[in-house]
Amino acid sequence: MRRAVPLAYIARNLWVRRVTTALTAGGMALVIFVFATVLMMTEGIRATLVATGQPDNVVVLRKGSNAEITSTIGREQAGIIESLPGIATDAAGQPLVSREPVVLNSLVKRNGKPGNVTLRGTSATGLALRPQVHIVEGRFFRPGSAEIVVGRAVARGYDGVAPGSTLRFAGRDWTVVGILDAGKTGFDSEIWGDSEQLMQAFRRLAYSSVIFRLAEPSSFEAVRARLEDDPRLTLEAKPEIRFYAEQSEQLANFISILGTALALIFSTGAIVGAAITMFGAVASRVGEIGTLRALGFRREAVLVAFLGESLLLAFVGGVFGLAAASLMQFVDVSTTNFATFSELAFQFRLTPVIGAKAIAFALAMGLIGGFVPAWRAARLKIVDCLRAA
């Protein structure tokens, strides 16, 4: 008789030992929760920063500096960049180039702790270069004035940053005139003001970066070569998408290494838990195993039955852990990005890949924890079993 033990029988066994099942599955759920949350955090940081870049935009920085705050581009260099061929123009025929000074400004968060907010000098062209950014409240700043607009995450996370209020920095008072929504990208964590006004206030002689749009996205290599071969310039150009992706790398890697290490350590605990539960299940059902075998179920069927029980246990734990982790999507978090030294607001992000990975991880724990007990159950001799019962 080559029959498998029915699934209902397997499931009912778990139900009979409810308390033990709940404790074991609970331990696994916690491990999966940690595992999934970490992956979601890494994914959230990546998604936020990658979405910040536009495919046909190019960022120019000083050679060797990886972030805008450490880069400097003089006015004459910016002029040379502006005269490059291949830059897109707007409806009025003006080249789509934005010269931007970037400064970090320390503000007080709602929880009383200081945070570094990126202060970006830009212009109407800078806004046009980022189609994902919209003004949702108030209006854009007037050129040549001490007005600023703040990102949505800044308005939410920091004290006294609302339309109509003033911020004091660089010896001046700046009026907040609007809130910008950047569609959950990095610009949500920034404050924007007029380029020239900020340069004057901070007594800077150089911009931090120059951003322009390519007329033809495929012409990037030609533009880059022209820019980097120019002996007057010590600059480097990067597609905006790659620039922001690189900024997410360090933090995302750190979190994913730390998180994976933790999940692996915990999983040892959960596997041990599963193994104890399954050994217990085998020990208390020796008689039953004997009966099953006597009825004609083969060793393999018994092995599969116990392994199935362990996998089902792990699956239940995995589903609960993942469900708890999916609630984290409603939590807003912000942390300092080491690469830019500034605050970055982001959200936990659950993707199908993460879901699949979490469930696979849970099943792997169940498999490892359940294999030896199931093997032992399958190896028992019928006579011994029946005698023990």
Partner 1 sequence: MFLLRLLLKNAFRHRLRTLLTIVGLMVAVCAFGLLRTIVDAWYAGANASSSTRLVVRSATSLTVPLPLAYAERLRAVDGVTAVSWSNWFGGVYVTERNFFPQFAVDGASYLPLYPEFVVADAERTAWLRDRRGVLVGRTLAAKYGWKVGDTVPLRGTIYSGTWNFTIRGIYQGADAGVDQNQMLMHWGYVNEIQRQRFPGRGDSVGVFVVGIRDPNDAALVGQRIDTMFRNSLAETLTETEKAFQLGFVSMSEAILVALQAVSLIVIVIIMAVMANTMAMTARERLAEYATLKALGFPPEFVVKLLFGESLLIAVIGGVLGVLVTLPLASAFANAVGTLFPVFRVAPETIALQLLAALAVGVAAAAWPAWRSSRIDIVDGLRHVA
- Catalog residues that contact partner 1 under the rule CB under 8 A: 19-20, 23-24, 26-27, 30-31, 33-34, 37, 62-67, 69-70, 72, 103-106, 113-116, 169-171, 202-203, 205, 234, 250, 255, 258, 262, 265-266, 268-270, 272-273, 275-277, 279-280, 283-284, 333-336, 341, 343
Of 42 and 54, CB closest to partner 1: 42
| CA 28 – CA 50 distance, rounded (Å) | 33
Of 204 and 226, CB closest to partner 1: 204
Rounded least distance, CB 262 to partner 1, Å: 6
Rounded least distance, CB 33 to partner 1, Å: 8
Contact 295, 3 (CB under 8 A): no
Contact 207, 72 (CB under 8 A): yes
Rounded least distance, CB 130 to partner 1, Å: 23
| CA 298 – CA 231 distance, rounded (Å) | 80
Residue 100 has φ and ψ, to the nearest 5°, of -130, 120
| CA 38 – CA 354 distance, rounded (Å) | 10
Contact 15, 300 (CB under 8 A): no
Rounded least distance, CB 131 to partner 1, Å: 29
Nearest to 30, CA basis, from 258, 269, 256 = 269
Contact 150, 191 (CB under 8 A): yes
Contact 181, 145 (CB under 8 A): no
Rounded least distance, CB 79 to partner 1, Å: 18
Rounded least distance, CB 322 to partner 1, Å: 16
Residue 97 has φ and ψ, to the nearest 5°, of -130, 135
Of 166 and 234, CB closest to partner 1: 234
Residue with tokens 């849970």: 362
Of 202 and 315, CB closest to partner 1: 202
Of 56 and 309, CB closest to partner 1: 309
Of 8 and 331, CB closest to partner 1: 331
| CA 122 – CA 87 distance, rounded (Å) | 18
